Chains A and B, each alone.
Chain A
Amino acid sequence: MMNQLIQNEVSKILLKKKMVLISVLLFLFIGLFSYGEKYTYDKTISRFEKITEDTSYDWKSLASQQMMELEKRLESPYIHEMGLKSIEIQIEQMKYFIENNINPITPSSARFSVDFVENAIIMFIPLMIIILASDLVSGEFSNRTIKVILTRSVPRWKVLLSKYIALLMMTTMVVLMIGAISSFVSFFFFRVWGFYEPVATGFKLINGELDANSVIMVNRMEYMVLIYSLAWFVSIAIASITFMISVLVKSTAAAIGIIMAFLIGGQFLQFFLSDWEIIKYFFVSNLNLTKYLTGAYQQIEGMSMKFSIMVLAIWSLVSIVISFVVFTRKDVLA
């Protein structure tokens, strides 16, 4: 019984051609970004060649060139404190890469697909998940098919559970699709797979300073699995929260509006009100899980990977509980 209900929900998502829409968007943006990265890399090389009149370069000379450029930017009088710290951290990392013989420059397919997720995790990936989740329940209300499915001999919690499970399955699919599409499309541009390159991860920020003592070396493939697992976790959290909103409001447009306001508003809040303690308990402030691995500059003090995962897990759980409580008691007037 449950299997067939889940099958129903999956076919509704597929019939609405949502997966097609998501793949088109992914192809479009990933194509654009990997073309862009290829373009900047080519430009870096031609600039390097122009300055040094040397065509037999290797990545190390490119990396030190880039480090010098970063140092130059530090001297700029217009730079603000946040940017300063972020650049200092980047220089420290670059030093570490050169000392330890890790190539941070040459683009590869595996590197791109990791970079893409690191950048997309706070906005682009949540958006894809919102496309999936926002009308899952509210859609049944807006086209009034809710009356048809709630008058069969199936308890309401089963109807909702099948929807949630279908959502989890499709969310997982989307994360896998991001991995596959970003690897293949970027390979088309870079012609390098790079799955076995070494990666340094586990940089820590202690009082705003980069600490390389806890760094461990893994290969790109392992790192990719790690980053995609984090992206998957974030996606599940976004899916659960959107799912709840979809249960609470009757119109899909309102559901999308509300979750988008949270996402965008949340990014604003973390930027402007970073001193305010309570902001770090808001789910949007905790979406960027991957930054804890790369040692990027953090706006809010006192947050860690463990903390963010806990916050997201609690938000997801509470969302699911609210969804079930509300849905099973709701009076259907639509």
Chain B
Amino acid sequence: MREPEKEEHHEALHLLGCPEVPVQTSIALYLMYLLRERGIRSTVAGTKAARSLVDLADPERHYVSGIMDLDEYIGMLAEGRLDYGHSFVYIHNDAGVSYAATVSALTKGQAYAIVFGSHAEERAAEITFKCRVIAAKVTHNPMPLKIKIEKALEEELHGLR
């Protein structure tokens, strides 16, 4: 597995699963905004529905630099053809934890788990692998998760301001 190139440390990947929990797309776009303010470009890898929501919400690509298919991203990551300095996996179900474990095992960068939904505490407790966990039990109101993300970014990325 190759190391992320220097410029890839200033690029982030957002892995978006099934968008059935309302806060997902909003939180993802807000995090992309925070990263952009720190000079970090964002690419989205997601399901068809997740990609469509992001695509529609950011038509002029203020926050999203690229969008790709979820399976395509996992394939390239597993084969060592693609990696990012920061990988954010959005989790609200068991499958999300599985994807986060896979990204954590394969990336040479930093993996983050953004956990939300009505079972956020249970999902967060399942993350025993190397990963920075940011979790809040929210479904419709993104504010508690927004605050935790801001705090985590201050701690993790303050050197990039």
A and B interact physically: no
Q: Which A residues are closer than 8 A to B by beta carbons?
A: none
Q: Which B residues are closer than 8 A to A by beta carbons?
A: none
